[in-house]
Amino acid sequence: MGFQRAVVTGGAGFLGSHVCVELVRQGTDVVCVDDFRTSSPRNLGGVLTHDRFEMVIADVAEPLDVRGRVDLVMHLACPASPVDYLRMPVDTMRSGGFGTLHALELARRDNARIVIASTSEVYGDPLEHPQRETYWGNVNPIGPRSVYDEAKRFGEALTQAFHREYAVNTGIVRIFNTYGPRMRAGDGRMIPTFFQQAQAGEPLTVHGDGRQTRSLCYVDDLVRGLLAMAHSDHCGPINLGNPEEVTVLDVAERVIEVTGSRSVVRHVEPMPDDPRRRCPDITLAHRVLDWRPKVSLHDGLRAMAGRVPADIG
């Protein structure tokens, strides 16, 4: 049985817009909450005028004024790219802290299921590989990336507190690197940066030696996992990501291949606190949600090469 009415915070962002579209497609009324600081209404396309869709322009760090009952809250709002969270470090922590608090209060008000989007960044530069949900992480709490990492770690702790004290029906997902259409060019994340550079014939900038690894999940797979979590009663945390581990250098070379670009790779200075290895153990997601990714990196990058314009707001 589907949900009748859902609130999606950050619903005009890369990931949130895909979630909104899929919920509407499944017959759910959707209230999208976003302030467009790191997103755009263009990401929502035709769903903006759908009779099941409502847009609320608001900052989640302020109390949420959502009228009428909801039975699902998907809390996805938070600056997620390095360019954004390094530009607005305090707002990032406000979104992860106050934003999570207000989303939880809304779910508690209506006895709704709530899914909180956490991140693989809670594992920091991991000493365990692949990363299981039981791993506590290796995080620098005061480094430049810490505003995002610690906002998400605090959000997890707050979510568990609401679950324990108020019996709120909570679920935490730890999202690993995700890519696909509607990523914003120039947002500092690896995939849109590589595509933008390849399409412009510019060198693809690889930080450090490029041997650091990532595990990249196509957005359609991730949305399927998020909604499977919404329909479950598991409180998490549960890893959602693709366990196919690849080096950053390999990703750059694959983007050059699928775009037909003549670009070359240029190595630049390593990023501070950049994790050397990142790969999810998705045993729990497969067992509890019957979920695992279906789209290979090769197919996902080919799809992006044909669908991603040079600049998406």
pLDDT bucket at 274, cuts 50 / 70 / 90:
low
pLDDT at position 312: 28
- Domain assignment present for residue 207? The answer is no
218 catalytic? Reply is no
- Domain assignment present for residue 208? The answer is no
pLDDT tens, residue by residue, 52-76: 999 999 999 999 999 999 999 999 9
Please name the helix (run of DSSP H) or strand (run of DSSP E) that holds residue 166, with its range, or none. Answer: helix 146-166
Please, which residues bridge with residue 56 across strands? 33
For residue 164, the enclosing domain spans 5-179+217-242+279-294
pLDDT bucket at 278, cuts 50 / 70 / 90:
confident
- Domain assignment present for residue 210? The answer is no
Who has greater pLDDT, 33 or 183?
A: 33
- Domain assignment present for residue 39? The answer is yes
- Domain assignment present for residue 228? The answer is yes
Please, which residues bridge with residue 257 across strands? none
Domain count, the chain: 1
For residue 142, what is the domain's CATH number? 3.40.50.720
Q: Which one of 85, 148, 179, 218 is the catalytic residue?
A: 148
End-to-end C-alpha distance for the chain, whole angstroms: 35
Of 60, 11, 68, 8, the C-alpha closest to 40 is: 11
- Domain assignment present for residue 98? The answer is yes
Q: Can you tell me the distance from the alpha carbon of 27 to that of 21, in angstroms, rounded to the nearest whole number?
A: 10
Tell me the average pLDDT of the chain.
90
Q: Are strands 245-247 and 213-215 parallel, antiparallel or unpaired?
A: antiparallel
pLDDT tens, residue by residue, 1-58: 689 999 999 999 999 999 999 999 999 999 999 999 988 899 998 899 999 999 999 9
Give this prediction's pTM: 0.90
pLDDT at position 310: 32
90-107 mean pLDDT: 95
Q: Can you tell me the distance from the alpha carbon of 155 to that of 117, in angstroms, rounded to the nearest whole number?
A: 9
Residue 235 · residue 163 · CB < 8 Å? yes
- Domain assignment present for residue 105? The answer is yes
pLDDT of residue 311 exceeding 70:
no
- Domain assignment present for residue 163? The answer is yes
184-211 mean pLDDT: 84
Q: Can you tell me the distance from the alpha carbon of 299 to that of 305, in angstroms, rounded to the nearest whole number?
A: 10
Residue 163 burial (CB count, 10 A): 18
∠ Cα 197 200 203 (to 5°): 45
